[in-house]
Structure 1
């Protein structure tokens, strides 16, 4: 594993925009939203890469079904894995002999690894690089925002009051570091009953409007609790979801591209 943090070369990747996906805490579906952001941009005709910066809890390879692929060192740097639709992916799990092995590293090494995943991976020409940040506002997130030029941030939340409190902290951090916010995605927003065709708010009434109004940011999507999305994610086929839920796919693409164009 020493080679991950000891590359002595840099390449010239041409990446037009970098979009990071952030949540104040774990378990809110941040990686799922990262997958949907990348897929939506790809479906819109853009070249896309995903950098999995959640070093100690990587799930991007599994979501995209590339967890059995291995990356390797070339003359120019580390190669990437590639999804069925051509999304380039880099994650520490792709360098491990066993994807179940834990990564027990301290903060500075984690931050250094993420920096090198940006600098020393052969991304090539990309319209968008989407970064899946780890939960919270600590070392790796700070490294990405300070050392990698992030053009915009997508914030992920869920309806619970506790999550809203932590989301506020994430937004304040982004503002202090002068990182523009693309918008907010509320995950697990509701459940649509198959029999009664009504929305059920399992976590109570959403407080997302209060957050949006407080910080003057747009709502990109209300993502439902959807067994189809869960199944596709488990099967490594998250890229199919916008085409199975056409209403969500079209709405999310319209809002996401509209807000990114303002950056």
Structure 2
């Protein structure tokens, strides 16, 4: 009764914290590639403004579940990505290369280079500073997929090669230095030396991520990468068919033997997507990538379709993300980029 006469009021609501129910709901929120709930410190709010702060690259599509949530959707959500430089295999080298992700495959023909290109473009679309190194020196295809194959790389006053800026990505490739019809007939040691020179003698800007497109297989160049370059993580690309999966397993084993963290597996050409009717057919088999990932205890980061619009865009030197940003097929590519960046970060932060 005394409280009534004294005008006692309930404690004011804190405009900078979430309610208990909202915090519980945030614990259920997930993003591709990150296992389990996100740390509570990554969520903040002030009044009706709410923010998700991530230490890795992600696209605005990760906010959709928050924006559509019955309890959390009334906030005006913003995404803030500040990419953290992670430990790598050569800690004595400067961190100007950012987080180095090598894209590998046990065999050719699985679409490794197209995955590398689309990953790089998607990360750049999210606002990250991204480099792309074409280490597939026997068959450099990135100039074709990114355009500008006839534009040669220039040498600056410091005798460094200037990377091309294509679709928001800084690209260095032997394909920009030699005639596109010339064959690179090099023995292993010469090829490995050329790769190191291409990496170190390119005038890279300060990067968040450097994507390295390796040649297929498990030979000299892959060993050079493991021993000489500051690698943060490796991604193995495969298709669902048994012959590709057997070679992918060799790639997984190789990275583990040389001590390179395995970020995960990407299953390319997971199914055929008909552009006319939208029908999907698993022409190379089903669940092969998932079973291989589970048996080797590595994350399955993405399952990308075999689709004519993706192939046509790359053939024309205009990745689908930039040629048709609203195309439905881009959703899987953007999700892949978030999954790779998130898993790369989470693995680096796991206690040894």
Q: TM-score, normalised by structure 2?
A: 0.68
1:236 aligns with 2:320: no
Give the root-mean-square deviation of aligned CA atoms: 1.8
Within 5 Å, give how 1:203-242 maps onto structure 2. 203-238=284-319, 239-240=321-322
Q: Distance in 2 between matches of 1:221 and 1:80?
A: 29
**Higher relative contact order, structure no. (Cα contacts within 8 Å, ≥ 6 residues apart):** 1
- The gaps in structure 2 that reach 5 residues or longer are 1-92
1:79 aligns with 2:156: no
CA contact (8 A) 1:13 1:123 kept: no
Counting matched residue pairs gives 251
SS at match of 1:130: strand
- The gaps in structure 1 that reach 5 residues or longer are 1-10
1:247 aligns with 2:331: yes
| Corresponding residue to 1:148 among 219, 229, 249 | 229
After alignment, is 131-140 or 197-206 more displaced?
197-206
1:95 aligns with 2:177: yes
Q: Distance in 2 between matches of 1:13 and 1:212?
A: 30
Aligned to 1:160: 241
Residue 249 of structure 1, CA deviation: 3.4
Aligned to 1:48: 130
Aligned to 1:7: none
Aligned to 2:264: 183
Residue 141 of structure 1, CA deviation: 1.1
After alignment, is 245-254 or 143-152 more displaced?
245-254
Aligned to 1:127: 208
| Corresponding residue to 1:25 among 103, 107, 112 | 107
1:15 aligns with 2:97: yes
SS at match of 1:156: strand
Aligned to 2:3: none
Distance 1:193 1:235, change over 3 A: closer
Residue 159 of structure 1, CA deviation: 0.9
Distance 1:143 1:242, change over 3 A: farther
Q: Distance in 1 between matches of 2:200 and 2:338?
A: 31
Distance 1:254 1:82, change over 3 A: closer
Q: Distance in 1 between matches of 2:171 and 2:157?
A: 19
SS at match of 1:205: coil
